[in-house]
Structure 1
Amino acid sequence: MTAIEAIHSPRSRDISNHQQQNMAEICVEDSVKMDELLSSKQTRGLKILFLSSDTGGGHRASAESLAKQFQLLFPGSTYDLLDIVEKDGVPPYNSLVKGYKHLSAHPSQWKLVYNVSNSRAFEMLADAHLKLMCEKAVRKSIKSYNPDVVISVHPLMTNVPVLSCSKITKELGKKLPMFTVVTDLGSAHCLWFANGVDKMFVGSEQVKQLAMSRGKVPEEKIVLAGLPIRHDFAVQSENLGDRMSPEGKAYQQTVRQQLELPVIDKPTILVMGGGEGVGSLSHIVDAMYVELVTQGIDALIVVICGRNEKLRKDFAERDWKHVLNRWQAAKQRMGLTNRFLSMDVCGPQSVIPSPGCIETSGVTGSIRRMLSQGSLSLGGAYLTSLNGDIATTTDDKRDPVEEESGDVSESQGEEEAVPVEVNSNTSTENAGSVQVLGVGFVSNIAEYMVAADILVSKAGPGTISEAAALSLPIMLTSFLPGQEEGNVEYVVEGGFGAYCSDSDPMAIAEEVCMWLTDPTKLEQLSRSAKIKGVPYAARNIAQAIGDMTFDFLNESQKANHSS
């Protein structure tokens, strides 16, 4: 445990009286030095400049999570967010935001751009080009904010700002520190790893190894800290404790009551499409409804629809008996059974078997190859079989889910359990009682994750880190090629989830149902998630950066006084 973790971990409350007495004596003996330290850190807050861009919600969310902690730890602190690429960049970089929105909706194009840009040749070209064309403008922009510290949370905002901060330090005669907080989890783009930063904070061992091998960043400059997530998750993690304990389950029911969910004593599945709305939410929810009813599992499906009001209303008005009939008919026509793929029998050299889910450990090589080749999908066969059968299908890709801000919509779609009487395979006596609830804008996603037993989502690093912080098992359904492939690997290798392509929604549904009917499996997934979770990452990072920044300020003041 680091010094920062020791100070802020809840376990620090268990320090013995003898230890506390020794600490007090040390403080008394060192009172003069301590007073000087405290006075230097309490006279004012810090002026923080975050370098970020709205290419997905994760970068801004990380910056705001850190900003909140700076304000809590160093009262009076202020912050600004600056997109230097859009403001001071040159083509094609200054059209990054528009380009991201297009590419994230076209994964094959994204993969091409990502792979080309994540090469040594492009890295050298971009570094030289941006420094030559943009450095003076970037330096002027940074100086205009007069910050105490600069923090980059975006890969395109590292190499040039590092040079600019170094030049500003020489011009002003005082140190302007710069730090990088890498917001990727299982893998990271090469442009993250500018070597001149004072410290680089990473979220996983995988990214740490990349920083050292690709970026040649010295190990002493890298801090393995976890991804910074919102303060709500630390609060809820503290309140929840052990999710699987009687106390944890009691708190979960309390949160469900506070959220006014229609049921509080049934398994709850939370479905999210991600900040950019990538993922076939409608088909996934349909498939889960059908499988839960068919297997006789009582459950609540909560769908975060964001500003996609059409999708939310559609869930509220959907004819679920009709959905059940059509999906079961399609399943019978295709002769499909459970397509869960046991990776224990699929070694790195084996031929890729039939579509299904990726789960278990020790298969890193084959996971990455499968994801790159797209081997784990039905290629739309299931959806083709359904074509024309389900009238209530909504294109939810056009209207993104804004999970970072806003309130739960006042008008929430809630569907009463549908009596099932459809065919010889499903009897009303054995049918599960399933409700589907669509909600609009949410700012309290941490509470929804506490209320859930399973999360179904795309492979965004922030969402994965949030789920892990609350020991919530996660079913991944889609990812951005290249950038998010490593996140799938991180979850699967970490043993707290699985991956099923959203092109095979019934495979997703079958795996989720398997978890719900196997309490031992669900508990194992939850405990593995808890091991990976770092709910206090934002606080620890802010504390470390703040302390180092004040140290630099003190050194600069001493140097000026002596001169």
Structure 2
Amino acid sequence: MANQRVLFISAPIGAGHIRAAQSVSQLLQLNYNCHTELCNIFDFCHPVFGQTILTGYLKILDIFPQAYGAMYGWGNRSRLALLGRELVSQIFARRMVDYINKFQPSVIVCTHATPAGLVAWLKKKGLIKVPAVAIITDFVVHSLWVYPELEHYFVAHSAMAEDLSKNGILPQSIAVTGIPISDSFFQPCDKYQILDKLSLSPERKTILIMGGGAGVLPMGEILELCAQIDRPLQIVAITGKNQSLYRSLIQLGLVIRHPVRVFSYIDNVHELMSIADLLISKPGGMSSSEALALGVPLVIYRPIPGQEEANSRYLLNSGAALRADSLSELQNILIALFDDYDGFTTLRRQAVLLGRPFAAKNIVDFIAKYYFKA
């Protein structure tokens, strides 16, 4: 199978889509010695256009998240949105044809709805005949993911499979695998060694705060809130690429009563999650799946309307997460958990039950079985 070629197409709108592609790509190379290549939809347009779209997206999330939620809901229901999808596909999909034909993949893997639509349009028009599959990286199916031209879908849980079936996707074309994460999240870590390396104590509860790749969580305010809690705790914060936030948290950590460790963009998130007793974050599909794989309960802070809201419902209904819509709510949740050992234990147990650490391997083996020639 060494001559197999797999093309991944994603979008840099949220780090999870790219990380899902990377986790599957790395396992394909390791387990099947095939050639993989990762690209994103902005590779097929002018760099300024792509950067403008990304900047606008982050601005909307920061300033007016309700607008994003309204667009998400509209896109899930409106016939006009489906027509718009067709128009976008016509404009951009043709630019992908030469790239795909030159690479000659055995299969195309899409980890974002937009490239899934572009590839489906090319297949519908007969411009490519390459098999294509989609990996949905949230706990909900949006209608912009639904394309009968795609050969297979990989989803997080069985209710998503039912939703796809109701929207015309054949049941035999859907595999319930979980959201693929890096294999580092199921490699054994020495918790005490990591704590010692960070000069943290195993006697304190460790709270991990993650703001996403763009640092969109009000982490400074959350850190100050944690400082007011009179319990034995310590805090680890990851700010992503937000350097100004990183610098401000470093300064804040110097005056807080509890031990604080601050990191920017890192590649050992699995180590920091492995020492966490609790994660405060946004409910992204990828970061949530990573936490669940390690049995780390999640406190969701003010989910953005749209897929974050839908992800929250799934995690809350499954008993693996709690939700806070204000700083005072968050403080009450943290104090209650510190005073309730059974509450912590129940959340962790549910997180472990929900976790699917081997999702990437299951997807890789499926792709090899159905799309690789002997």
On whether the aligned pair clears a TM of 0.5, the verdict is: yes
Match of 1:256 among 169, 189, 195: 195
Match for residue 137 of structure 2 among 183, 191, 199:
183
Structure 1 residues 128 and 317 mapped into 2: Cα distance closer, same or farther (>3 Å)? closer
Q: Residue 234 of structure 1: which of 164, 171, 186 is its match? A: 186
Q: Which amino acid aligns with 1:182?
A: I
**1:431-470 to 2 correspondences below 5 Å:** 434-470=258-294
Question: What is the CA deviation profile of residues 407-463 of structure 1, one whole-angstrom value per residue up to 9, with x for unaligned ones?
Answer: xxxxxx6x4774xxxxxxxxxxxxxxx222222332101110111101111111111
1:276 aligns with 2:210: no
Equivalent position of 1:393 in the other structure: none
Shift of 1:65: 0.8
User: Is it true that 1:499 corresponds to 2:323 in the alignment?
Assistant: yes
Structure 1 segment 466-505 matched on structure 2, within 5 A: 466-501=290-325, 504-505=326-327
The aligned amino acid for 1:469 is A
1:510 counterpart residue number: 332
The reply on whether 1:298 has 2:232 as its aligned counterpart is yes
- In structure 1, what is the equivalent of residue 58 of structure 2? 101
Query: Aligned with 1:254: secondary structure?
Result: helix
The one-character-per-residue Cα deviations of 1:148-180 (angstroms, maximum 9, x if unpaired) are 21011111122331343473566xxxxx22111
CA distances 1:465-502 after superposition (whole Å, capped 9, x unpaired): 1110000111000322112111111111111111102x
Output the CA distance in 1 between the equivalents of 2:157 and 2:317.
12
Which of 94, 98, 111 is residue 69 of structure 2 equivalent to? 111
Partner of 1:158, secondary structure, is: helix
Indicate which of 160, 164, 168 corresponds to 1:211: 164
Amino acid at match of 1:289: A
Report the alpha carbon displacement of residue 228 of structure 1 after superposing the two structures with TM: 0.7
Aligned equivalent of 1:79, options 25, 33, 36: 36
Superposed, which structure 2 residues align to 1:361-376 within 5 Å?
none
Cα contact 1:234–1:469 (8 A) shared by 2: yes
* Kept after mapping to 1: 8 A contact 2:138/2:285: yes
Unaligned segments of structure 1, at least 5 residues: 1-40, 171-175, 241-250, 319-412, 419-433, 555-563
1:471·1:526 contact (CA, 8 Å) conserved in 2? yes
Aligned residue for 2:80?
Answer: 122
Cα deviation digits, residues 346-388 of structure 1 (max 9, x gap)? xxxxxxxxxxxxxxxxxxxxxxxxxxxxxxxxxxxxxxxxxxx
1:544 and 2:366 are equivalent in the alignment: yes
Note if contact 2:215-2:245 (Cα within 8 Å) is conserved in structure 1. Answer: no
More displaced, 78-87 or 457-466? Answer: 78-87
Secondary structure of the corresponding residue to residue 531 of structure 1: helix
Specify the SS of the correspondent of 1:227.
coil
**Percentage identity across aligned positions?**
24
- Answer whether contact 1:268 1:299 (CA < 8 A) is retained: yes
Hey, what does 1:382 align to over in structure 2?
Answer: none
Change over 3 Å in CA distance of 1:269–1:131 after alignment to 2: closer
Q: CA deviation at 1:104?
A: 2.2
Render the CA deviation track for 1:215-245: whole Å, top value 9, x for unaligned: 311111110100011121121xxx26xxxxx
1:78 to 1:96, Cα distance in 2 relative to 1, 3 A: farther
Instruction: State the SS of the aligned residue for 2:137.
Output: coil
User: Is the Cα contact below 8 Å between 1:288 and 1:508 reproduced in 2?
Assistant: no
Cα deviation digits, residues 272-331 of structure 1 (max 9, x gap): 11122222111111112102x2xxx1111111123444434434434xxxxxxxxxxxxx
Residue identity in the other structure for 1:178? A
Contact 2:213 / 2:239 at 8 angstroms: preserved in 1? no
Query: Following TM superposition, by how much is the alpha carbon of 1:527 offset from its aligned partner in structure 2, in angstroms?
Result: 0.7
Distance apart, 1:147 and its partner CA: 1.4
Other-structure match for 1:314: 248
Structure 2 spans left out of the alignment, 5+ residues = none
Which residue is 1:194 aligned to? 147
* Structure 2 counterpart of 1:147: 105
Deviation at 1:182, TM superposition (A): 0.7
Q: Is the 8 A contact 1:116 1:122 kept in 2?
A: no
Q: How far, CA to CA, are the matches of 2:95 and 2:244 in structure 1?
A: 44
Contact 1:143–1:168, Cα closer than 8 Å, also in 2: no
Residue 93 (structure 1) shift: 9.1
Conserved? CA contact 1:68–1:231, under 8 Å: no
Provide the TM-score with structure 2 as the length reference.
Answer: 0.91
Partners of 1:195 and 1:509 in 2: CA distance: 46
Give the residue type in structure 1 aligned to 2:233.
A
Aligned positions, number: 371
Superposed CA deviations along residues 170-226 of structure 1, whole A, max 9, x for unmatched, are: 6xxxxx2211111111x232111111211100112332232122x311111110100
Q: Is the 8 A contact 1:457 1:478 kept in 2?
A: no
* C-alpha distance 312-263 of structure 1, shift in aligned 2 (>3 A): farther
Q: Which is strand-richer, 1 or 2? A: 2
Aligned partner letter, 1:183:
T
Helix, strand or coil at the partner of 2:279: strand
Q: How does 1:37-52 map to 2 (within 5 A)?
A: 41=1, 44-52=2-10
Deviation, 1:100, is 1.9
d(CA) in 1 for partners of 2:52 and 2:135? 23
Structure with higher Rg: it is 1
Question: SS of the residue aligned with 2:259?
Answer: strand
Indicate the SS of the match to 2:307.
coil
RMSD: 2.5
Q: Measure, in 2, the Cα distance between the counterparts of 1:469 and 1:444.
A: 15
